[in-house]
Chain A
Amino acid sequence: MLDFAIQTKGLTRMFGDFTAVDHITFNVKQGEIFGFLGANGAGKTTAMKMLTGLLTPTSGEARVSGRDVYTEAESIKKNIGYMSQKFSLYDDLTAEENIRFYGGVYGIQPHELSQKAEELLERTGLIEERKKLVKDLPLGWKQKLAFSIAILHHPNIVFLDEPTGGVDPVTRRQFWEQIYEVSEQGITVFVTTHYMDEAEYCDRISIMVDGRMDALGTPAELKQEHSAETIEEVFIKLARSAKRGGG
């Protein structure tokens, strides 16, 4: 078992003269729920792309699931899970077809896949809906399904990019219960959100400002450090100091 799902040191990405991500150094412990916060344009997406093997850093070091982002990007992609609110499932495939498609992409063997698909449908309460097109499922179920599919191959770490945007308050909380469950199974959860109350549910959070990581710690530590009542206050304090007109 690895100690850290993510280890970075001075991780940097430039686009021409522009430093999108500026020497970020942090570790994410295996099994941790890690909240990755920042204003629009602070560099979150660029950092996520580097950590998921989609973009090569300009300088610095990073290992994800024990693999080097420069030389083992392809292996990283196979060993992580990823889900975003913007793109997750194929609307015109059924729930079951989506499971089989992604299972295939993640290289799960056919005999193992049918069993995993059954388990997944049962666990998510979607047995009855298996033949339904995903576009006909309520948003909350779609998200539950997308999340379950993202961890079908039992990765060390799953990246959730704004998974709860626009979801009703009850479903949003059910989704977080699913996050807790996944984390109990030892899977690391790396999550971005614009809901500041959700930041409080994380074991640790980081806040990016102008490409730098200006805060890193448990929610309680950050609130104490910035003498704030809520994480929203901490966030606004830090993000207001941004020079970049990203937002």
Chain B
Amino acid sequence: MKTVVKAVGVSKYFANVNALDNVDFEVTEGELFGVIGPDGAGKTTLFRLINTLLVPDEGSVTVLGLDSVYEYRKIRPLLGYMPGRFSLYQDLTVEENLNFFASVFGTTIESNYELIKPIYRQLEPFKTRLAGALSGGMKQKLALSCALIHKPRILLLDEPTTGVDAVSRKEFWEMLKVLKQEGITIIVSTPYMDEAKLCERVALIQDGKILQIDSPESIVEGFKKPLLGIKAKSTYQLLQALKAYPKTNSAQPFGEYVHYTEKNRTPDQDELRDFLKKQGVYDVQVVSVKPTIEDRFMELMDPQNEEENNA
């Protein structure tokens, strides 16, 4: 497999903030690669280092074998970049925006129409509308069309689904699957942990450090502790009780359940039920649950857990 993006020992500082701290990763051709982490983790800095808008303070970034500092001019036409904030011209129409981006890269809408067709088709009825007057979902589709119009080899999407409702998010990921079939390498960042499973490989990132890079399945497999899902009449009361329970290692709400692990052992369910009963927690249901990426992410955020796993 051919490596298309390679970062070696990359660090980036802003004043006293270490935005990225000695980061290494590789993305292979045709891959759908996710960068998953909360606000402030360093996702946007990472994208700007790849797209040559920032220069690393340490280490190097290469894109298709080209150095991001010395050969940035050659790299730029190979990339399509959709920034996190809507950055198109609000006072140009849909079609004018698309034409503008096509001409900047020395091409035309017609010559690459086939590639953007599945996305742009839904926008075409509004092609004379000003970009600023589009709904959120339509803006997103236009931004994606503009990022694709010069047929880039690599597509960089910085938080395309942030603040977007569950249905539109689903649709967006379906569009990405179609683009992937065209052979475009896609690097996409998101703060929604549940979107990790839609990627082939993901990098979990927090405080400028990559916690882990692997397939979503392998990342979840890294969660070794037996995990229980506990439900009660009042989730708040249940949480308070579990925090007071000396054997609790972690108790985190996940939807209607609280995901629960015990320190260094398989939970004794009878003992746990007894304790909750004494604490006056009613309607307790305990089931065994499969961990999710989010369980693993939280475990990785706490260094103590890692020491236990490695012990």
A binds B: yes
Roughly how many angstroms separate A201 CA and B252 CA in the complex, as a whole number? 12
Bound CA span A242–B138, Å: 15
CB–CB B39/A139 < 8 A: yes
In whole Å, how far is B251's beta carbon from the nearest beta carbon of chain A?
A: 10
A39-B294 contact given A167-B38, A168-B38, CB 8 Å threshold: no
**8 Å CB contacts to A: which residues of B201-256?**
206, 235-236, 239, 252-256
Task: Please give, as numbers and ranges, the residues of chain B lying within 8 Å of A247 by CB-CB distance.
Answer: 135-137, 164-165, 167-168, 171
B65 within 8 Å of A (CB atoms): no
Q: Which single residue of chain B is at the shortest CB-CB distance from A183?
A: B236
The smallest beta-carbon distance between B160 and chain A, in angstroms, is 13
For A219, the chain B residues whose CB sits under 8 A away are: 256
Structural contact, B40 and A139, CB atoms closer than 8 A: yes
B residues in contact with A38, CB < 8 Å: 165
Pairwise interchain contact B165-A168, C-beta atoms closer than 8 A:
no
A225 proximal to B (CB < 8 A): no
Q: A139-B40, A201-B253, A247-B137 given. 10 additional CB < 8 A pairs?
A: A39-B166, A39-B167, A40-B168, A166-B38, A168-B301, A169-B38, A197-B255, A201-B235, A239-B165, A247-B171
**Max chain A Cβ within 10 angstroms of own Cβ: one of B162, B235, B256:** B256
Quick one: closest B residue to A184, CB to CB? B236
Pick from A16-24, A66-74, A229-237 the stretch touching chain B. A229-237
Asked if residues B255 and A169 are in contact (CB atoms below 8 Å), the reply is no
Number of interface residues of B (CB under 8 A): 35
Name the B residues within 8 Å of A139 (CB-CB). 38-40
Shortest 3 CB-CB contacts between residues of A and residues of B: A168-B38, A166-B39, A247-B168
Rounded to whole angstroms, the CA-CA distance of A195 and B191 in the bound complex is 11
Chain B residues closer than 8 Å to A166, beta-carbon distance: 38-39, 162, 191
Set of chain B residues within 8 Å of A40, measured between Cβ atoms: 135-137, 163-165, 168
Q: Output the least CB separation between A83 and chain B (Å).
A: 16
Given contacts A40-B168, A245-B137, contact A180 B236 (CB under 8 A): yes
**A169-B193, A169-B294 as given contacts; A246 in contact with B166, CB under 8 Å:** no
- State how many angstroms separate the Cβ of B196 from the closest Cβ of chain A: 12
Contact A200 B167 (CB under 8 A): no
A40-B135, A139-B40, A247-B137 known; A168+B167 contact, CB < 8 A: no
- Pairwise interchain contact A170-B254, C-beta atoms closer than 8 A: no
Stretch at the interface among A3-11, A91-99, A146-154, A171-179: A171-179
From B166, B192, B254, A235 is in contact (CB under 8 Å) with B166
Known: A168-B38, A184-B236, A239-B166. A41 touches B254 (CB 8 A): no
Instruction: List the B side residues contacting A162 at CB < 8 Å.
Output: 163
Partner-A contacts on B (CB < 8 A): 37-41, 135-138, 162-171, 191-193, 206, 235-236, 239, 252-256, 294, 297-298, 301
Say yes or no for A194: interface residue by CB 8 A criterion. yes
Q: Are A245 and B138 in contact (CB under 8 A)?
A: yes
Q: Are A246 and B164 in contact (CB under 8 A)?
A: no
Which residues of A sit under 8 angstroms from B239, Cβ to Cβ?
177, 180
Contacts of A39 on B, CB cut-off 8 Å?
165-168
| B residues in contact with A176, CB < 8 Å | 253
| Contact B37 A168, beta carbon cutoff 8 Å | yes
Bound-state Cα–Cα, A199 to B193, Å: 16
A-B contact pairs, 18 of them (CB 8 A): A40-B135, A40-B163, A138-B40, A166-B38, A168-B301, A169-B38, A169-B193, A173-B253, A176-B253, A201-B235, A220-B256, A231-B255, A235-B165, A236-B167, A247-B136, A247-B137, A247-B168, A247-B171
- State whether A170 and B301 are in contact (beta carbons under 8 Å apart), knowing that A184-B236, A230-B255, A235-B166 are contacts in the complex: yes
| Choice from A171, A200, A240 contacting B255 with Cβ under 8 Å | A200
Residue among A177, A197, A200 with the highest chain B CB neighbour number at 10 A: A197
Q: Tell me the minimal C-beta distance from B296 to chain A in angstroms.
A: 10
The answer to whether B162 and A165 have CB atoms under 8 Å apart is: yes
Q: A183 to chain B: which residues have CB within 8 Å?
A: 236
Q: Determine whether the beta carbon of A170 is less than 8 Å from that of B166.
A: no
Complex: chain A residue closest to B122, CB-CB: A245
Q: Which of A169, A171, A245 contacts B297 (CB 8 A)?
A: A169
CB distance from B158 to the nearest CB of A (A): 12
How far does the alpha carbon of A240 sit from the alpha carbon of B165 in the complex, in Å? 11
| In the complex, per-residue mask of A27-54: 1 if CB is within 8 Å of any chain B CB, else 0 | 0000000000011110000000000000
